[in-house]
Amino acid sequence: MLKFHGTGVALITPFHEDMSIDYDGLKRVIEHVIQGGVDYLVVQGTTGESSTMTKEEKKSVLKASLEYNAGRLPIVYGIGGNNTQAILEEIKHTDFSGIDAILSVSPYYNKPTQAGIIAHYQAIADACPVPVILYNVPGRTMSNLTYQTTLELAKHPNIIGIKEASGDLSQCMRIAAKMPEDFLLISGDDILTPSMKVIGGHGVISVLANAYPAIFRDICHADLETSRMAAFKLLDINPMMYEEANPVGLKYLMSVLGICGDTVRLPLLKASENLKSRINKNLVK
């Protein structure tokens, strides 16, 4: 699965002030990241505010993204949640033309057992016509995919990797030590990407690559020293992307860069004046 090595960018969904989707803005975002050297696009992940999108809007954003991408890069589509049956229905009614894989977040709120998580993902992988990438983000879901669970799921022929956003390098090392040779270990934390690279990771699905794709090209594809130095440029601005919830800080940053507006959908609000001021002071040249 070399197509998913390097930088995947978790695309934002630009909105107009009236909360409708800004398709021109989306086109600019996609062109910006492709020209900046990312390796694949992730459409309608959590950074794309998928939780506040209707089914029709999600399909519309996917259709537009496929059109704007025009076959240049592989596309990963976000299909996940905490209702297994609803996910299976969504898979059943999704046109997978042009989709190379799905990214599926671990069930949130329900707090299932590890056995429940395994059964959930096995059902998705059995039903999905394209490969599945797991997504472990305990900070959002309140449950962790243990390394044992990940390794068990890695045995499924249609589960090809994991976006690991636990922030636990020890857990990631245990996955790397025993994962199948063709299994993808993908960083879900922008700043930890060089560390993941050292232990055997294959790249990142990134938030900040929306704004700084060329920096992530260096982080993922350059030698280790260049990779480290590129990541160090983001140390100050990276935590600001999450202070008021992703993608609030990112969308303000994108507006400063002139790529799209900073509107987010409720229950999120636009960045506070305090956050805006600090982002402005820490723009990466």
Q: What is the DSSP letter of 270?
A: P
User: How far apart are the C-alpha atoms of 29 and 185, rounded to whole Å?
Assistant: 26
User: How far apart are the C-alpha atoms of 34 and 246, rounded to whole Å?
Assistant: 22
Strand bridging mode 40-43 / 75-78: parallel
| Residues 6 or more apart in contact with residue 38 via CB below 8 angstroms | 6, 7, 8, 9, 73, 209, 213, 216, 217
Q: How many residues in total does the chain contain? A: 285
Residue 64: closest CA among 20, 131, 13: 13
11 neighbors 30 (Cβ within 8 angstroms): yes
Q: Encoding tokens for residue 203?
A: 């790249």
* % helix, strand, coil for the chain, step of 5: 45, 15, 40
Q: Which residues are catalytic?
A: 135, 163
CA angle 199, 166, 195 (to 5 degrees): 25
Could you identify the residue written with the tokens 């990241």?
A: 33
Q: How far is CA 223 from CA 194, 203, 228, 270, 271, in A?
A: 10, 13, 9, 37, 35
Q: Is 12 annotated as a binding residue?
A: no
User: How far apart are the C-alpha atoms of 11 and 249, rounded to whole Å?
Assistant: 14
Q: Is 47 annotated as a binding residue?
A: yes
Q: Encoding tokens for residue 143?
A: 């449950």
User: How far apart are the C-alpha atoms of 116 and 122, rounded to whole Å?
Assistant: 10
Binding residue ranges: 47, 205
Binding residue ranges for pyruvate: 47, 205
